[in-house]
Amino acid sequence: MRVLVAMSGGVDSSVAAALLRDQGHDVVGATLKLWGGAGDSGCCSVADVEDARRVAQVLGIEHHVFAYTEEFRARVVEPYVRAHAEGRTPNPCIDCNRFVKFDLLAERARRLGFDALATGHYARIVTRHGATALGRGVDAAKDQSYVLAYLKSAMLDFLVLPIGEMRKSQVRARAAAAGLRTWDKPDSQDVCFIESASGRAGFLGGRLTMTPATVVDRDSGSVLGQVDAAELVTVGQRRHVPSPDGARRYVTRVDVAGRRVEVSPLAGALRTRVELVPGSLSAVGEPLGDGPVWVQVSAHARPQAGRLRLQGNGVVELAVPIRPVAPGQTVVFYHDDAPDIVAGAALVASP
């Protein structure tokens, strides 16, 4: 089988390529040049491209660099900036997977005659009721099914996830045994197009006119303080929230246009309902309908029992209250009778 492996320059995709090569496949590595601006982390840096190239050299496979800077800017960076300007908190890694890596790159792989696209994600390709589906990775601490939840069965049929059955420790050991320079490379934790020194404030501050806002107690309406930039405040946030009386409060609403941020003590901030953006629901395999599901509201959140209701705009009802989920984030559903298999995903609407 001829396989194009997306090589980010990290240990996971390095081992994915090594495993496929060792299995006798015709493997070619491809690293994506996505960000043309400043950046010092993630899969966009010059160092990561060089690491991927050197790994491919050790493995004896071809390696190419594909430039998608304009597409990345239009599909990931600009929506990221626009969402913050509107008081939403997007997930750029999900958008990158959805619109670049598993859209543009997959289409290019097919056009170049490859039989499959492979990545180093911790997730598994499984079958449910005769259709291809997405399963959690064996390593629960590294599972990445959440960030791949928008993939459809047709894409999954073309996808190979070689390390989905492995644990991180096994991946690192395999890389060390193969003499790959990435064997002890730290995992990327940050948004790849944001420099660690300036952070989100520096990135957005160079692209938006920041909006000062008044922080008010949601229930009493009393003014608690000010924030310099409502665009940097996230629903569910508790750090850096003004609190004259020292009580811990959580952000429950961000109104950029109204220059207002509402906060509440934890008891008042907890939610048992998550409203969905109309038309954003995406199912993997079988259609999603009303009924019980397992719900995950972030990449590392603990799954919660809930019920999906599609009447109106769509809503998820949770069995146990959780902190409010920021508008623009993704909520992922797992099957009630198969909690390790993705059922679908949707965007969170404003509370």
pLDDT at 43: 58
Per-residue model confidence as pLDDT tens digits over 157-215: 999 999 999 999 999 999 999 999 999 988 876 788 888 788 899 999 999 999 999 99
In a domain, 195, yes or no: no
**253 & 172 share domain:** no
**166 & 217 share domain:** no
Mean pLDDT, rounded, of the chain: 93
Token pair in block for residue 183? 């064997």
44: annotated active-site residue: no
Provide the residue type at 41 as one letter. Answer: S
Instruction: Answer for the pair 55, 7: CB distance below 8 angstroms, yes or no.
Output: yes
**48 & 166 share domain:** yes
- pLDDT higher than threshold 70 for residue 289: yes
Which strand (E) or helix (H) includes residue 78?
helix 78-85
Q: What SS3 state is found at 348?
A: strand
pTM, entire model: 0.93
Average pLDDT over residues 129-149: 96
* CATH code for position 283: 2.40.30.10
- pLDDT higher than threshold 80 for residue 20: yes
**173 & 258 share domain:** no
93: annotated active-site residue: no
| Number of domains making up the chain | 3
- pLDDT higher than threshold 80 for residue 119: yes
Per-residue model confidence as pLDDT tens digits over 309-324: 998 889 999 999 999 9
Burial class (CB in 10 A: 0-12, 13-18, 19+), 53: middle
Instruction: Answer for the pair 314, 290: CB distance below 8 angstroms, yes or no.
Output: no
**10 & 115 share domain:** yes
Radius of gyration of the chain (CA): 21
pLDDT at 10: 93
Instruction: Answer for the pair 105, 96: CB distance below 8 angstroms, yes or no.
Output: no
Return the top range by mean pLDDT from 27-36, 138-147, 310-319. 138-147
Q: Dump strand ranges (E) for the chain.
A: 2-6, 26-33, 62-67, 116-118, 123-128, 131-136, 159-160, 213-217, 223-227, 250-255, 260-264, 271-275, 282-283, 291-296, 304-309, 315-322, 330-335, 338-347
**7 & 98 share domain:** yes
Average pLDDT over residues 77-82: 96
**242 & 288 share domain:** no
- pLDDT higher than threshold 70 for residue 40: no
Q: Which of 141, 198, 181, 189 is nearest to 43 (CA)?
A: 189
Determine what percent of the chain is predicted with pLDDT higher than 90.
85
Q: Identify the active-site residue in 43, 44, 93, 192.
A: 192
* CATH code for position 107: 3.40.50.620
**41 & 168 share domain:** yes
Return the top range by mean pLDDT from 195-204, 237-246, 267-276. 267-276
Instruction: Answer for the pair 230, 87: CB distance below 8 angstroms, yes or no.
Output: yes
- pLDDT higher than threshold 80 for residue 45: no
Q: What SS3 state is found at 282?
A: strand
Q: What SS3 state is found at 258?
A: coil
Q: How far is CA 196 from the centre of its chain?
A: 19
Average pLDDT over residues 222-245: 93
- pLDDT higher than threshold 60 for residue 42: no
Last residue of a domain, one of 233, 249, 269: 269
In a domain, 323, yes or no: yes
Containing domain of residue 281, as a range? Answer: 271-347
Last residue of a domain, one of 129, 152, 177: 177
In a domain, 340, yes or no: yes
**171 & 37 share domain:** yes
pLDDT at 39: 55
CB environment 6-34: b (16+ within 10 A), e (fewer): bbbbbbbbbbbbbbbbeeebebbbbbbeb
